[in-house]
Structure 1
Amino acid sequence: MKRLTLILIALTICTGMILTLTPFSLAAELSNDDCVKCHTQPPADIAANGGAHKTEVTCMECHEGHPPTIRENIPACSSCHSGKSHYELQNCLSCHNNPHTPLILHLAKDITGPCLTCHQEQGVLLQENKSFHTTMACTACHQEHAQVPPCVNCHEPHSETMVQADCSQCHQAHKPLVVVYNDSTPSESCGSCHEEALSQLSTSNTKHQALACAACHKDKHKTVPTCQDCHSVPHSAGMMKKFPTCGECHNTAHDLNL
């Protein structure tokens, strides 16, 4: 009887140990397929907008272990992302709110420095070509990542028919005062600023009236050609000596005194 009692006690102890150890030591290891059984939204986010988080890493490679055996299984961004100045910034989640959709950014309206760690060329252009745009935060214009807003959101168009393609033909947003254009630029675009010159030209009865502004003021804003560029030396040497400046007789190219 005593021996039977000892055997029962031993069996009870062993059974208790097995039941206690089973959830941890005898449980199967987790796989990525197990994650979606409880966590439905993160896999859906990754599938839709995961970027490299979808193609380069798995759930288990990022989240090593699972509570309660591992209490802190949310890795720091720097554990994978390093080697660039952008990755040295603090508080990644202020823009990259959801690590499962890393390229969908939520931006505040006064951010510049973090943007320029990736978009350095644009920062250089703004500093080398001072304008009001230089004083603005990047996110004042680019309120969403990779979004390029139309100029007319802030600026009155030069004409009623003007569209964004017309703006960008002459003005680069990061150096807006460096105006360049081609020969096909309509004179109406110029006339919105140079109204008097266009008015004089459009009412002129000379051949200049048929010319587009860009035909004379070629390639770069404020280019003023000499009359000789087109007309060579139109008068005798004696007259040119007496009146060396064409405007003494002909006023301006937009309003010739003929």
Structure 2
Amino acid sequence: MKSMKRGFKHSLFTALVLLGLMAVAACTLPTSEAKTAEPAVAAAQPTELRAARAPAPEPARDPYDVEIVPLTLAQCGQCHPTYFEAIRDEGGKHRFDCRECHEVFHAYSPVRQNWDDIMPDCASCHTLPHGEKLTDCLGCHINPHAPLYIPYAQTPVADVCADCHGGPAAELAQFPSLHTEQDCTLCHYDQHGYVPSCFECHGPHYQGQPLVSCAECHPVHKPLEMTFTATTGARTCEACHTTAYTDWEKTPSKHGQVNCTVCHTDHGLIPTCASCHGAPHSANLHERFPNCLTCHLNVHDLPVRRR
């Protein structure tokens, strides 16, 4: 009897447990489904909110609805780099805004061939600085963007050069020398303004002679009209007056202690002994020997002839 009661209680307990589990499952099923659906709803909400808050798209803008502004130098240089660099490096007084000269641009027509109409004229700014003889500016200034670079014209060069360099041209004509017979471009061969070294054609008078000393004696365009200063060294004279220099260099007399230019103050000047020495001997002796070199045989060495 007792065992039957225990079996019944056990079966009843098991049934109650199963019923409880079923009830719990029935109650929680909607909640699980809801929780499963919640992330989709939550994820959808921000997108919808963003769409609602986004500004309305702007209407298409007319690309020509802009204000025209002048080009800058850098913008000109993007298409015309050669001209830009020429002005930058050798433009001289032409280093200003492109539009100062080019008031009309991008107007060339290969059909109309209107190049001359749109290109600026030199005379719009410049008069004829070189006179009526030279009216073709581009004959020398071949590149208006680099006006300081002047290759030489193919016309007679001396005539063209003389228009601006009248002084040198006059000296060459007035004082004939081998320089007179040469074309200007023989010396000034590189470009306008090039000043050559004398040593490009001529050797020095002595080893180590400084270049600057050439022009102290020889004016470039009249080289035979020699001048010199009191400080011009005797070695410079030696180049042409070798015998006199050799005698002077070895003499024990006081003449060996003074520079050539002390006596020869001008080129070619032969001074008299009296200009420095006056009358150093008696009147009777000077009367007998009026020429000093009768006794003092060599003015640069001053040996004395003894009877």
Q: C-alpha deviations, 1:51-72, integer Å up to 9, x for none?
A: 11114xx322322312247643
CA drift at 1:151:
0.8
SS of 1:182 mapped into structure 2 = coil
Contact 2:296–2:303 (CA under 8 A) maintained in structure 1: yes
- The alignment of Structure 1 onto Structure 2 pairs a total of residues equal to 231
SS of 2:180 mapped into structure 1 = helix
- Report the CA distance shift for 1:177/1:133 in structure 2 as closer, same or farther (over 3 A): same
Match of 2:51? none
**Match among 38, 41, 45 for residue 82 of structure 2:** 41
TM-score by length of 2: 0.67
Contact 2:255–2:301 (CA under 8 A) maintained in structure 1: no
Q: C-alpha deviations, 1:20-62, integer Å up to 9, x for none?
A: xxx9xx994754555334222212221222111114xx32232
CA drift at 1:233:
0.6
The structure whose Rg is larger is 2
CA drift at 1:171:
1.3
Query: What does 1:99-178 align with in structure 2 at a 5 Å threshold?
Result: 99-107=144-152, 111-143=157-189, 144-178=191-225
Match of 1:84? 129
CA drift at 1:257:
3.1
Task: Single out whichever of 175-184 and 153-162 deviates more from structure 2.
Answer: 175-184
Match of 1:209? 256
Which has the higher relative contact order, 1 or 2, with Cα contacts under 8 A spaced 6 or more apart? 1
Query: What does 1:18-29 align with in structure 2 at a 5 Å threshold?
Result: 28=68
Query: What does 1:9-24 align with in structure 2 at a 5 Å threshold?
Result: none
Q: Give the alignment's Cα RMSD to 1 decimal.
A: 2.6
**Match among 60, 65, 69 for residue 99 of structure 2:** 60
Contact 1:45–1:100 (CA under 8 A) maintained in structure 2: yes
Contact 2:187–2:196 (CA under 8 A) maintained in structure 1: yes
- Report the CA distance shift for 1:214/1:48 in structure 2 as closer, same or farther (over 3 A): same
Letter of the 1:256 partner, please give it: L
CA drift at 1:190:
0.4
- For structure 2, list consecutive stretches of 5 or more residues without a partner in the other structure: 1-63
Q: Percent identity?
A: 35
Match of 2:282? 236
SS of 1:85 mapped into structure 2 = coil
- Report the CA distance shift for 1:250/1:137 in structure 2 as closer, same or farther (over 3 A): same
Distance 2:67 2:115 in 1: 18
- For structure 1, list consecutive stretches of 5 or more residues without a partner in the other structure: 1-22
- Report the CA distance shift for 1:242/1:100 in structure 2 as closer, same or farther (over 3 A): same
Contact 1:112–1:137 (CA under 8 A) maintained in structure 2: yes
